Amino acid sequence: MATSISGTPIPISSLPLHDRVAIITGASRGIGRAIALHLASLGAKLVINYTSNKVQADLVTAEINSFFPGNTPRALTVQADVSDPSQVKSLFDIAEQFFNSQPYILVNSAGVSNDKGISVADTPVEEFDEYFSVNTRGAFLCAKEAANRLKRGGGGRIILLSSSIVASLRPGCAAYAASKAAIDAMVKILAKELKGTGITANCVSPGPIATDMYFAGKTEEMVQRAIDECPHGRLGQGQDVAPVVGFLATDASEWVNGQVIPVNGGYI
């Protein structure tokens, strides 16, 4: 049972994602964690994917399972590298087997960023390759598997995370922006290719969000500049992004398809 604002218990069966299986990549922390917790509050059953931080992923799973006490777990922790096609396939296989149901929802939140304001001329090739391996290839492999494996006939949702940096085109982050711009293009085409399946495909494009990944490598001056450029005068939080993803995951979003939705507080 969930609980309403008034404290009245809400049956799981009345929640908008009642028992729909959702796979969330990169869900051990940051934006992915916030999305996982939010979808769980909407009634979804969750596969909490992580690459290396098992301890944090298990904490997310435990928190979700505490939402709805009972003998049947509603969340499962699964390790998988999204840049590896066999591991992505296994991620979907485990989801189906554990919950005995086809997944309805994929949210690809896994990604890497090392935004130190490095110009194209100075960007190491290894850094460029890592962005495209995890951010672009990972999104492609997850979207490819989802296009073949999600529940058809209505309700299937593919939601990829991009970045508002694609639109802001800030100097010093060309490689990262390019890896995310490819996702924007891919999702628009994918939505058209899924015609007739009832599956929608969209991108959510956050601005600067206060996560460990965002702060890594940034000076206080760089962070303050992002805060000053935002009309709200602050960095975003995972909780600012999660409800938008939650809407896209529900039946209410059926008429939103092939879109890139900025969630950045007016940052650009």
- Residues for the chain: how many in total? 268
| 4 lies in some domain | no
Whole-angstrom distance, CA of residue 239 vs CA of residue 117: 26
Helices marked H in the chain — which ranges?
A: 30-41, 54-67, 85-99, 125-131, 138-149, 165-168, 174-193, 212-215, 220-229, 238-249
Task: Identify the active-site residue in 50, 104, 176, 267.
Answer: 176
Amino acid identity at 255:
W
Residue 247 neighbours by CB under 8 Å, 6+ apart: 253
Q: At residue 7, does pLDDT exceed 80?
A: no
206 domain residue, yes or no: yes
Residues 77-118 have pLDDT tens digits of 999 999 999 999 999 999 999 999 999 999 999 999 866 678
Residue 23 belongs to some domain of the structure: yes
Tally of domains within the chain: 1
Task: Evaluate whether residue 45 is within a structural domain.
Answer: yes
Q: Is residue 6 part of a domain?
A: no
Q: With respect to residue 201, please indicate whether it lies within any of the assigned structural domains.
A: yes
Tell me, yes or no, if 176 is annotated catalytic. Answer: yes
Classify residue 192: in a domain, yes or no: yes
Does 1 reside within a domain? no
> Which CATH number goes with the domain that contains 139?
3.40.50.720
As a whole number, mean pLDDT of residues 141-159 equals: 95
- Note down the domain range covering 72: 16-263
Residue 215: CB atoms within 10 A of its CB come to 14
Looking at the predicted structure, is the pLDDT value of residue 9 above 80?
no
| pLDDT the model gives residue 2 | 55
Provide the pLDDT confidence category of residue 214 given band limits of 50, 70 and 90. Answer: confident
